[in-house]
Amino acid sequence: MGKILLLNGPNLNLLGKREPGVYGTKTLKHLEAEIIELGSAHNTEVCCCQSNHEGELIDRLHLANEDDTKGIIFNPGAFTHYSYAIRDAIAGIQVPVIEVHISNVHAREEFRHTSVIAPVAHGQIVGLGLKGYELAFFALIDLITV
């Protein structure tokens, strides 16, 4: 089957250490290993990428459109709330993107209530912790295999 990209934006390299009360104690490495393992169980290659830089995230989205990636699980971090450039990158590619947020952004500060990504995402999973990435994986598997 096709390839899935697990893409994480700014500050998510600090998972496990960063505000553990909000984001939990598991590391990004742990999360990536879990999704890679899910991939192997479903005959799907999972590529993992994290960047703190807007342009790098955009370049990675563009690359996914060229390298036979079938779906993208994407937590854009704080860029979610204001990056029109990332939104346009997603709108400009054909690969479906599932937007994931670990925390319930709607129960937090007002500025987190808006996502400029959501209108161009295939779907959005919010507030279910790292489980959200797993659910996004299964949603993409369903999408890819129909």
102 binds ligand DQA (CB under 6 A): yes
**Cα(54)–Cα(32) distance, integer angstroms:** 20
101 binds ligand DQA (CB under 6 A): yes
103 binds ligand DQA (CB under 6 A): yes
Q: Where are the beta strands (DSSP E) in the chain?
A: 3-8, 45-50, 69-75, 97-101, 123-126
Is the separation of the CB atoms in 107 and 127 below 8 Å? yes
Q: Does the annotation mark 101 as catalytic? A: yes
Nearer to ligand DQA, 120 or 144 (CB): 120
11 binds ligand DQA (CB under 6 A): yes
Using CB under 6 A as the binding criterion, the count of chain residues that bind ligand DQA stands at 10
In the complex, the smallest distance separating the C-beta of residue 146 from ligand DQA, rounded to whole angstroms, is 28
- Nearest CA among 77, 140, 73 for reference residue 103: 77
**Cα(135)–Cα(128) distance, integer angstroms:** 9
**Cα(132)–Cα(146) distance, integer angstroms:** 21
Structure tokens of 127?
């507030």
In the complex, the smallest distance separating the C-beta of residue 11 from ligand DQA, rounded to whole angstroms, is 5
Nearer to ligand DQA, 31 or 102 (CB): 102
- Binding residues among 61-100 for ligand DQA as defined by CB under 6 A: 75, 77-78, 80
Is the separation of the CB atoms in 23 and 90 below 8 Å? no
Residues forming the site for ligand DQA (CB under 6 A): 11, 75, 77-78, 80, 101-103, 105, 112
Active site residues: 23, 101
